[in-house]
Amino acid sequence: MLNIVLFGPPGAGKGTQSQRVIDTFGLVHLSTGDMLRAEMASGSELGEQVKGIIAAGQLVSDEIVIALIAKRLDADAKGFIFDGFPRTVAQAEALDNLLAEKNTAISCMVALEVPEEELVTRLVKRGIDSGRSDDNEETIRKRITEYNSKTLPVAEYYAKQDKLNKIEGVGSIEDIAGRVAGVLNQYA
């Protein structure tokens, strides 16, 4: 299996690049952000529970997102692309355990690197089109702070396993997709 963690701060282009990878490598896309937004849109109890946390730009509890991922790990898939997960070291450890139960593992992490001011500019622009509750400047800055304190250590976690690949996340979508594919071809 080819199991990839697509990593990067909010606004790095993880969703956009995931779509490319799915098309090229035939992987199943698992985005905890998409799953949580679907829960909110459906008005489920879980959706109600996480709404305020997401709108405030904070991280949802590890327990909730790990359970969402655990439900989706289908052993018959060619592989998975994890987008926006894991966001804490505890989530990364849980993911390693879940995959080990299925006799597989993370193949590599691809980390998109984008300067902070570029992230804010991109997300403010996206907010105008998407209407996402968390794409306003105050919440965007809070999300970036959460990323720097809680999520960045996840890159170190994969670096220790010799699986971290950093990529410049600035440029055209095509150029960045080429850089991502360049890394993935080494593992496919």
Catalytic residues: 14, 87, 126, 132, 143
- What are the DSSP calls for 101-164, one per residue? HTT----EEEEEE--HHHHHHHHHHHHHHH--TT-SHHHHHHHHHHIIIIIHHHHHHHHHTT-E
Instruction: Tell me the closest approach of the beta carbon of residue 147 to ligand AMP, in angstroms.
Output: 9
By CB under 6 A, is residue 87 in contact with ligand AMP?
Answer: yes
Q: Which residue of 4, 6, 8, 10 would you call a contact of ligand AMP, by CB under 6 A?
A: 10
Binding to ligand AMP, residues 37-66 (CB under 6 A): 53-54, 57-60, 65
Rounded distance between C-alpha atoms, residue 151 and residue 156, angstroms: 10
Applying CB under 6 A, among 36, 92, 106, 108 the residue interacting with ligand AMP is: 36
d(C-alpha 58, C-alpha 150), whole Å: 10
Judged by the rule CB under 6 A, the positions of this chain that interact with ligand AMP are 10, 32-33, 36, 53-54, 57-60, 65, 84-85, 87, 91, 134, 143
